[in-house]
Every structure is written in structure tokens, then in C-alpha cells.
Chain A
Amino acid sequence: MSEALDRRAVVATLLAGRDDALVVSGLGSATYDVAAAGDRAENFYLWGAMGGAAMVGLGLALAQPTRRVLVITGDGEMLMGMGGLATIGASQAENLSIVVLDNRSFGETGAQASHTAHGTDLALVAAGCGWRETRRVADQAGLVGLAAALRTRALFAVVEIAPGEKPRVLPPRHGALLAARFRTALWISDP
């Protein structure tokens, strides 16, 4: 068996080919991972509102149908907003992808085992909610394939990552600043 994927390397790989994709990150380590790959105005980091990342992504994807939107979040954050998978599945948004970094634990709060350690398969949940393409990724070859797929179409992916925390890379946490610079980057007047 190959070595478990490193979360920072996973996110760096996925974002290396992002082009003009808009990125929303779920609170906790996913936000630090996205920041570590390089702070951009087109990144919207959640520092709270747990369970909201996927739905922020949907509102954004519907508002910007010509841009690819990528939500990167953790298993715990996705579990808290799991109903959103049904809402997004029903919406059939064609420019919204979600990548769940699954370490099977709540890393931010002491690494207690999450539901995905006890049998919940979020890719199966997404498929059951009508997502047309879902996949699980557990190795480097799968990751490379996922990065390529994300450039061409919307999908839901669970990436199995190694447990353990990384040094925190903290992006700005002032929400009004993050929102205004995001809108400015999209050339929206009155940011």
C-alpha cells in the first residue's frame, strides 16, 4: 500500500492548476491548507459558520455560472452541512466541485474520530444525493487524475489524507475584508 496522502501536498496539487477557479475553504485545517498553497483574492476562507462551505459555494456558482467554483473542506465540516449535498445535487449546478479532505477525525478539536471513521462514506452520500460524478482518492495517481478532472467538470471527491496536524498558515480572518477583496477581484462594483 502506498503512503497516505499529505493534506498540504494534496491541496497544493489541486490548486496548482486552478486557473481562474474561485475557491471556498471550510473552517479549520482546510482553510490553512488553501492559504498555504498561496493567498489569493479569489479565495474565500471560512473561519466559522461550520457546515456552510458547500452552500457558500453553491450561491457563488449560481451567481458566476461561467467560472469554476471549488469548495475544499474537511470531513467534519462537510458532515455538519450534509443536507447541502442534497440541495446541491438537486440544483444540478455544473460549475461547482467539492473536495473533502478526509482524515476521519475532528482535527481542530483534539482529533476525535469522526463519522467517516465509523462507516460514513461521503462520496456515497453525494452519489445518493444525485451528484453525477463522485470519486474517492487514496493515492498519488488518483490525485493527479482528480486534479485533471476538476479542470474539465464538476464533481464531488473524497480524498483520504494522513492524520495529524500541520503548522498553521493563517490567512486574513476579517470577513468583511475577505468578502470585499473577493468581489473586487471579480470586478463587481460597490465591493
Chain B
Amino acid sequence: MTEPEWPDEVFAVLREADIQQVGYVPDAGHARLIARALAEPSMRAVVLTTEEEGIALATGAWLGGARAVLLMQSSGVGNCVNMLSLPANCRTPLLLLVTMRGEWGEFNPWQVPMARATEQVLRAAGVLVHRADHAGEVAEMVRAAAALAFASCEAVAVLFSQRLIGAKVFVAAGEKS
């Protein structure tokens, strides 16, 4: 199977947007983007223990004149809720790129409850939400989200749907894939 091109397109958009800090938690859907960020001298990739750290990181970055992005999974959105009071109160920009689990061909039921709540939780906490379902629209959507975040000082999330990313395939030992 050939690797999809949209993660590289998103990376190009982040460079174009002058993103200097990339906070991330481990995530298969963002693996390509994380690898590119780690290898990019103009970016500082920061591995986080929990997603809410990334909200604080992005706020601090903006205070210091830098732009940050936070890469996470839908399961991490719930961890961020109170920390989202930072951009809400401080009118500081926030750009979240969220890969969805638990919504399309999901094998693991533990991913589903947070997936169901992700969009509503973000909106309730004051985050504007875009959702990308097709590879062809991802780069344009991230570009628009970055503009909205950094020019208008808003908190903006782009959800990368699980259909776009592809459901994770689980194979138990001894089972046929």
C-alpha cells in the first residue's frame, strides 16, 4: 500500500504557517507528521505526557512570540477541557489537529465514547471545529484553520476522520489477518 500524501501536505502547511513548536502525544495517525516535525530544524517537537500540557505549551509559545500546533487523538480531547480556559480567557491562538478513533470500523470499543463526545466537547469549551473526511481537502482545511487561529486569535481544531486515516487493524496472536 502506498503512503498517503496528505500528511506531507499538512506538514508543508505548518511550515508555511511558521509553526515553531509541535506538541504531540504518540499517535499512529500523526506518525508521519511527528517524524517530519522531529526532523525539521525550524520546529521544536515536544513529546507530552498528556494532551492538556500541549494547551499550556501553545499558550506559553504565543506569549513568547512563537506559534505552536498540538497533535493528538480524539481520546485526548477530554483531557484538555479545563486547560482550554487558557485560550478562552487569554484570547491566545490554538491550533489542534485531532485524529479520530472510535467512529469508523473501530475494533476497540474503549475508543468509542470519547469519539462520540469529541466534537461537542470541543465546541462546548469554545473551540471552532473543522472536520476533514477526504484526503483532497485536508491541506486546505489546515491552512484555513491556521489562518483563523493565528490571525483572529481563536482556538481551532481540525478533526481528521477515521475514514480518512483508516481504521487500525488488530490481529490477535495466532489469528489470521
A interface residues, Cβ below 8 angstroms from B: 22, 24, 44, 47-64, 81, 83-84, 86-87, 90-91, 174-176, 178-180, 182-183, 186, 188
Contacts and interface: CB of A to CB of B under 8 A. Distances in A.
A50 B96 CA distance: 20
Contacts of B60: 24, 55-63
Given A49-B85, A175-B89, A59 B59 contact: yes
Nearest to A175: B89
B61 A59 contact: yes
B4 to A, nearest CB: 29
21 contacts: A49-B56, A52-B55, A52-B56, A52-B83, A52-B86, A54-B56, A56-B56, A56-B59, A57-B60, A59-B68, A60-B60, A62-B61, A81-B56, A83-B50, A84-B49, A84-B56, A179-B62, A180-B91, A182-B63, A186-B63, A188-B65
A174 B90 CA distance: 7
A132 B124 CA distance: 41
Given A55-B53, A56-B63, A59-B56, A179 B85 contact: no
B91 A176 contact: yes
B32 interface: no
Interface string B67-92: 01000000000000011011011111
A186 B47 contact: no
A59 B67 CA distance: 10
User: What secondary structure prevails in chain A residues at the interface with B?
Assistant: helix
Contacts of B46: 58, 62, 87, 91
B56 A55 contact: yes
Contacts of A180: 91
Contacts of A183: 62-63, 65
Contacts, number: 122
B161 interface: no
A129 B41 CA distance: 25
B89 A51 contact: no
Contact of B91 (A50, A60, A86, A179): A179
Nearest to B66: A63
B118 interface: no
Contacts of B50: 83
B56 to A, nearest CB: 4
A47 B50 CA distance: 21
Given A49-B85, A84-B49, A87-B47, A63 B64 contact: yes
Contacts of A50: 82
Given A55-B56, A87-B53, A49 B63 contact: no
B90 A179 contact: yes
